[in-house]
């Protein structure tokens, strides 16, 4: 079995009824929120802040079919709920979530892709 795609296009298509305009709108909204999520998923933020950001991002990622991102956010959210106090563990979990978000953003279609 090969590597899993970052974006599950079949899932995203099913969730949007293969409506290209709706998909473009959803991706644009996701991209707009990504900057905020990136700023919140940091160890210096209050635990509730990054935990809630991870939870919200997890749900959005699942809706789009960004499974690795959803998994990374689930891990970060779990760290926030578990009472984990190891700063290195928390920093690593948040870094993984930010890296998965960056990877997801790179995999999502760009608004100008239709014009290429």
Quickly state the pLDDT bin for 113 (edges 50, 70, 90).
low
Residue 43 within a domain: yes
Whether residue 3 lies inside any domain: the answer is no
Residue 5 lies in a domain: no
Give the chain's mean pLDDT.
Answer: 91
Instruction: Please indicate, yes or no, if residue 31 is contained in any of the structural domains.
Output: yes
Q: What is the pLDDT of residues 44-90, one digit of tens each?
A: 999 999 999 999 999 999 999 999 999 999 999 999 999 888 899 99
Q: Kindly indicate the confidence band of residue 3, based on its pLDDT and cuts at 50, 70 and 90.
A: low
pTM, two decimals, is 0.89
The count of domains in the chain is 1
Residue 116 lies in a domain: no
**CATH number of the CATH domain containing 29:** 1.20.120.160
Radius of gyration of the chain (CA): 15
How many angstroms separate the CA atoms of 39 and 4, rounded?
27
Query: Residue 1 falls within a domain, yes or no?
Result: no
Residue 4: pLDDT over 50: yes
């Amino acid at each position: 079995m090969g590597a899993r795609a970052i974006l599950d296009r079949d899932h995203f298509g099913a969730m949007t009824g293969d409506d290209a305009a709706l998909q473009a709108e959803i991706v644009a909204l996701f991209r707009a929120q990504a900057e905020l999520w990136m700023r919140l998923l940091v160890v210096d933020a209050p635990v509730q802040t990054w935990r809630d950001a991870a939870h919200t991002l997890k749900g959005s990622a699942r809706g789009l079919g960004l499974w690795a991102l959803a998994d990374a956010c689930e891990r970060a959210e779990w760290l926030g709920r578990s009472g984990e106090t190891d700063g290195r563990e928390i920093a690593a979990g948040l870094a993984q979530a930010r890296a998965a978000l960056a990877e997801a953003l790179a995999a999502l279609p760009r608004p100008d892709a239709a014009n290429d």
